[in-house]
Amino acid sequence: MIPACITKALAIPAHSPTGTINDVQHIVILMQENRSFDHYFGSLHGVRGFGDKLAIPIQGNQLVWNQKDANAKIIPPYHLNTQLTSAQRVPSSPHTMPDAHSAWAGGKMSEWPKYKTQFSMGYYRQYQGRYDLWVLGPNGFHRHFQGHAHSECKVETHIHYAAASGEIYLQLQNTGKKEASLTIHANDYRNDGPWQLKIAAGQTVVHEWSLFESYHWYDFSVSDNHGFVRRFTGRVETGQDSISDPSNAGTTTKPRKKFSR
């Protein structure tokens, strides 16, 4: 059964002055990588989701939600619970052209667990978009990324060093649709700050600091009031003599000074 809105749309004559391919102005392709994405969006508020009365019917008098795996076992959509299990570490499903076409089943979309494993029917929930990631390396190199995949804070952070000036640059680009209110903290090596920022949508702001008096060590955090955190720590290698870490204090370090921006 075709919905009335689709029937009405199909009844509208196509705008085709020439009647050739030249009349085509736009081609829109909607792609979702796998069944798990379908299931995730199906669990959000405001969509029909699992209660959709127009779900695709498949063989065995089933709807597309209930598909059979390689052992003919029916696998319905199921929640990958990262709070109680290690569901964030589920194995990757096959990603080749043959298994993709087999899963599509000639357009029936009914063979996903058979060719893409049972995990293709699993989904995460919206609250599970939280992340807390760390990257550690030599010379105190440290990156910390914390937040939520669905946060309204859409700020991209980049940090780079200018050898000519001896300054480190922190670039903040607001790629979101709302103003971002952020705070920059100097966690160590400096006695100034914090710096309060308001970055309009589409705007880019750059802050810079000299690293000469900290022996080229740095430690900055960018955060908002809703769990968004980006931390950058480490030492810039210049080929010159330095010390292990001036934040450890002791007789081998210079007295702390108030650093100027």
Higher pLDDT, 236 or 202: 202
Q: How far apart are CA 120 and CA 101, in angstroms?
A: 15
For the chain, domains (ranges, CATH) are 4-124 (no CATH), 129-236 (2.60.40)
CA–CA distances in Å: residue 116 to residues 41, 106, 113, 121, 236? 19, 15, 5, 9, 45
Instruction: Give φ, ψ of 118 to 5 degrees.
Output: -65, -25
Q: Are 228 and 146 in contact (CB under 8 A)?
A: yes
Question: DSSP letter string over 56-94?
Answer: PEETTTEETTSEE-TTS-EE--EE--TTTS-GGGPPPPP
Mean of pLDDT values over 221-226: 91
Query: pLDDT confidence of 96, banded at 50, 70, 90?
Result: very high
Distance CA 256, CA 233 (A): 18
Tell me which residue of 44, 43, 46, 64 sits closest to 54, measured CA to CA: 64
Higher pLDDT, 159 or 83: 159
For the chain, the distance separating the N- and C-terminal CA atoms, rounded to the nearest angstrom, is 67
Q: Nearest CA to 49 among 33, 64, 68?
A: 64
pLDDT band, residue 243 (cuts 50/70/90): low
State yes or no: pLDDT of 249 exceeds 60: no
Q: Are 192 and 186 in contact (CB under 8 A)?
A: yes
Q: For residues 192 and 261, which has the higher predicted lDDT (pLDDT)?
A: 192
Question: Three-state SS for 185?
Answer: strand
- The pLDDT value recorded for residue 238 is 75
Q: pTM for this structure?
A: 0.47
- The kind and range of the H/E element at 10 are helix 4-11
Within 10 angstroms of residue 94's Cβ, the number of other Cβ atoms is 13
Indicate the residue type of 25: Q
Q: What is the pLDDT of residue 42?
A: 67
Query: Which pLDDT score, from 0 to 100, does residue 46 have?
Result: 64
Residue 9 has pLDDT above 50, yes or no: yes
